[in-house]
Amino acid sequence: MNNLKTGLRIGGILIAVIGLMFLPTRNFVFDKGDLSAFHNWSDVGAFARTGIALLVAGLVVFGLSFLVRGEMTD
């Protein structure tokens, strides 16, 4: 059970982070960050629906990890 709980938490966080990558963001750090076709499409919001869906799915999976019985002890 402990592995299931940990796997759900890690998987939920990864899915949510991937979802955040699909959302439009401003690039203040890298000058050449707009050279990627993915970032150009993402900045105009072409993947916003997918990003929100993945973000919600990741949060649901992360939340499900709290419903799994068992202690998180090492």
Number of structural domains the chain divides into: 1
Asked whether residue 34 is domain-assigned, the answer is: yes
Please give the model's pTM, rounded to 2 decimal places: 0.77
Would residue 72 count as lying in a domain?
no
Residue 70 falls inside a structural domain = no
CA distance 4 to 12: 12
The DSSP string of 16-33 is: HHHHHHHS-----S-TTG
Can you give the residue range of the structural domain that contains 25?
A: 2-64
Residue 74 lies in a domain: no
Residue with token string 């990741």:
58
pLDDT at 62: 95
Q: Is residue 32 part of a domain?
A: yes
* CB-neighbour burial class of residue 28 (10 A; exposed 0-12, middle 13-18, buried 19+): exposed
Span 18-69, pLDDT tens digits: 999 888 877 667 666 667 787 778 888 888 999 999 999 999 999 999 998 8
Q: Please, what is the Cα angle at 17 between 12 and 22, to 5 degrees?
A: 125
**Residue 44 forms part of a structural domain:** yes
